[in-house]
Amino acid sequence: MLEIVGVTAGYGDGGRGGRDVTTVIEDVTMRVAAGEIVGLAGESGCGKTTLARVVTGLHRPSAGVVRVAGVDVHALRGRALRAHRRQVQMVFQDPYLTLSPRQTVGQALTEPLRIHRVGDARSRSARVRELLDLVGLDLQVGARRPGQLSGGQRQRVAIARALALEPRLLICDEPVTALDVSVQATVLNLLCDLRDRLEFGCLFITHDLAVLSQLADRIAVMRGGRIVEQGPTGDVTTHPSHPYTRTLLAATPTMDIAMSADGPED
């Protein structure tokens, strides 16, 4: 689904390509299969969001290739690029990066369908009801604005919006970092459940290895813009091969979040 091969990227030219003044990520190679959740862990500033921006096509790498469903993301232009962007959606730490405070939830969920000219008014409102149901929100929530929701509900809306166009790949950049631990658990459960039902691939970015140990099929550990270790979650968390992974694990507070505790009450 997603192949990242030898990607190097940095800043200094406004992201327009060519020679970057500072290299932020270097020679990154990773894969995410359909229906797989791959965690990307690493400390603040190591380059996680930069990699996410390269994968979505927002930032051009100075070397390497990103393929989604076999297509080189950075070789696309114009209409082909816009069509392709439907396949890759993002969920951010701050839901307000995708939700306008002035729009109702219903409007926010309709917008991607309208922009990509999917269906008519009737089928769109049916789809909005379906999306609310998918993320465990009551239909009445559709009439509210983001400011009238709890943090957990807002993040559910952001997830529903990201899934509106049935993407093949979901990139989650610290989506639960701003939430209380108990609410984190319900949102993580929701993501697992949705992945099982919809079979999108997911690149889940976090500095918190405890979150990944409960959620990810595989984990990649990034340090200073390089992947220092990657493998199945059980291997990486119980038999880390790189000293930096051991340091990260030692610094991770044990988080007792019960993955079975679920429910829309957040």
Ligand X SMILES: Nc1ncnc2c1ncn2[C@@H]1O[C@H](COP(=O)(O)OP(=O)(O)OP(=O)(O)O)[C@@H](O)[C@H]1O
Q: Would you say 46 or 128 has its CB closer to ligand X? A: 46
Contact 66, 3 (CB under 8 A): yes
Fill in the amino acid letter for 59: H
In the complex, minimum distance from the CB of residue 41 to ligand X, in angstroms, rounded to a whole number: 10
In the complex, minimum distance from the CB of residue 46 to Mg ion, in angstroms, rounded to a whole number: 9
- Give me 45's structure tokens: 């500033």
11 binds, among ligand X, Mg ion, none (CB under 5 to 8 A by kind): ligand X
- If one asks whether residue 93 binds Mg ion (CB under 5 A), the answer comes out as no
Strand, coil or helix: 258: coil
96 binds, among ligand X, Mg ion, none (CB under 5 to 8 A by kind): none
Tally of CB atoms within 10 A around 36: 18
How far apart are alpha carbons 63 and 25 in whole angstroms? 10
How far apart are alpha carbons 156 and 163 in whole angstroms? 11
Q: Would you say 95 or 136 has its CB closer to Mg ion? A: 95
Q: Within 25-84, which residues bind Mg ion (CB under 5 A)? A: 48-49
Residue 13's φ and ψ, nearest 5 degrees, are -120, 20
87 binds, among Mg ion, ligand X, none (CB under 5 to 8 A by kind): none
Q: Would you say 44 or 140 has its CB closer to ligand X? A: 44
- If one asks whether residue 206 binds Mg ion (CB under 5 A), the answer comes out as no
Evaluate the CA torsion angle 157, 160, 164, 165 in order and state its sign. Answer: positive
Q: Would you say 47 or 146 has its CB closer to ligand X? A: 47
How far apart are alpha carbons 157 and 172 in whole angstroms? 14
Which positions touch ligand X (CB under 6 A)? 11, 24, 42, 44-50, 207
For residue 200, the number of C-alpha atoms closer than 13 Å in the C-beta half-sphere is 26
- If one asks whether residue 230 binds Mg ion (CB under 5 A), the answer comes out as no
Q: Would you say 222 or 228 has its CB closer to Mg ion? A: 222
In the complex, minimum distance from the CB of residue 174 to ligand X, in angstroms, rounded to a whole number: 6
Cα-based torsion angle of the residue sequence 13, 19, 25, 27 in order, rounded to the nearest 10 degrees:
160
Q: Would you say 49 or 89 has its CB closer to ligand X? A: 49
In the complex, minimum distance from the CB of residue 56 to Mg ion, in angstroms, rounded to a whole number: 13
Distances (CA, A) of 15 to 19, 97, 151: 10, 20, 32
Tell me the site size for Mg ion, rule CB under 5 A.
2
In the complex, minimum distance from the CB of residue 207 to ligand X, in angstroms, rounded to a whole number: 5
In the complex, minimum distance from the CB of residue 50 to Mg ion, in angstroms, rounded to a whole number: 8
How far apart are alpha carbons 170 and 183 in whole angstroms? 20
Interaction site with Mg ion (CB under 5 A): 48-49
